[in-house]
Amino acid sequence: MKKLIRKILFGSTPVCEYATVTVENITEKVILKTETALIDISQTQWLLCLQPIVIGIWLNNRDSTFFSESKKNKIYFCGATEEIRKSAAVVEINIIEKIIERDGTLFLAEAGKTILKHINAVRTKLLFNKFYKKPQWPFDKYKALAAAYSYPRKVRLVSFKEGEYFNIFPMDLLGVIPQSNRVVFGLRHTNIVLQKIINAKKIVVSEIGYEHKETIYQLGKYHGTAPPSINDLSFKTLTTDQFGFYIPQWAESYKEINIIATADLGSHTLLWGEVINEKKLTGTQPHLFHIHFLHSLFLKKAGINYTAV
């Protein structure tokens, strides 16, 4: 019966929760609507926590003047247009915290009421009930998650080392602040390396190509367990210049980062970091991104076809 429903609703498109794609140029726009302005935050918004859904929004000092924390602000996840009436999802946000820097502010926004418009409401609810329903994710809460992944979230590798201990694992809950030396991370509390990173105040993030997808996802299991010895990894490693942390030999580039602030967001801890060294190792490679399945349907309807990997 489930296969029949799937075929009726979505044709031959395989149903999944997240689609893995590579993107040459991101076409989507993310627009922040304040009481007085529409601000393009496409390159300056990142998902940082899942329970609750928290989105980090970086605004420069000029744009911050249009943003009132006390008002109901909304984020519109659009297609290849800034027209908010054609958005795939709309999320009301409430500011819960902020980090003020000399050239701007990182606002931490908790998702509130969410409207999904990728496909019609009946198909959306059927899809949720048949494939995504979980006790900890009621539909109203799940909508905010689907909305947050209505923009491609790049996968990077995070590295840490202390003595003989090391860990390398993938993340998509992080962001690099444009034209700045700041990086923001959202690490799950259950990640066994989190407290070590907080204590050492050091972390490394690497850009990596999508062709290593299988290896990247194998490393994902080390969020909660210790990795094998360095000699038992399926790939060769390099060590970073300042910290001596391990990164894959095939990494495109890396940033060595000092952690300068932390905050408890709920299921995840925010790490606010300052880049002290970065190094390019290879030419730019196509990267791996995650989008929600609903968003892949929205893109298909709009004639946008990212390459599935």
Q: Which of 6-10, 77-81, 188-192 has the lowest mean pLDDT?
A: 6-10
Task: Please state the domain extents for the chain.
Answer: 27-151, 156-287
| Confidence class for position 270, pLDDT limits 50, 70, 90 | very high
Instruction: Give the tens place of pLDDT for each residue, 150-164.
Output: 999 999 999 999 999
Residue pair 24/308 in contact (Cβ under 8 Å)? The answer is no
Q: How far apart are CA 285 and CA 283, in angstroms?
A: 6
Q: Is the Cα dihedral 99, 191, 285, 276 positive or negative?
A: positive
The answer as to CATH 2.30.110.10 being correct for domain 27-151 is yes
Instruction: Give the tens place of pLDDT for each residue, 8-22.
Output: 455 556 788 899 999
Q: Which of 18-32, 48-62, 64-78 has the lowest mean pLDDT?
A: 64-78
Give me the chain's average pLDDT, please. Answer: 91
Q: Phi and psi of 149, rounded to 5°?
A: -95, 20
156-287 is classed in which CATH architecture? Answer: Roll (2.30)
Q: How far apart are CA 103 and CA 117, in angstroms?
A: 35
163 three-state secondary structure: coil
Q: Which residues contact 157 (CB under 8 A, 6 or more apart)?
A: 168, 169, 170, 171, 205, 206, 208, 216, 219, 247, 248, 251
Q: Which of 125-134, 154-163, 238-247 has the lowest mean pLDDT?
A: 125-134
DSSP summary character for residue 14: P
- Residue 90's alpha-carbon distances to 142, 296, 307, in angstroms, are 13, 17, 25
Structure tokens that stand for 222 in this block:
């080390």
pTM for the full predicted model: 0.93
Shortest CA distance to 11 belongs to which of 302, 301, 291? Answer: 301
In total, the chain counts a number of residues equal to 309
Instruction: Please check the confidence at residue 234 and state whether its pLDDT lies above 80.
Output: yes
Q: What is the mean pLDDT of residues 180-197?
A: 95
Residue pair 101/119 in contact (Cβ under 8 Å)? The answer is no
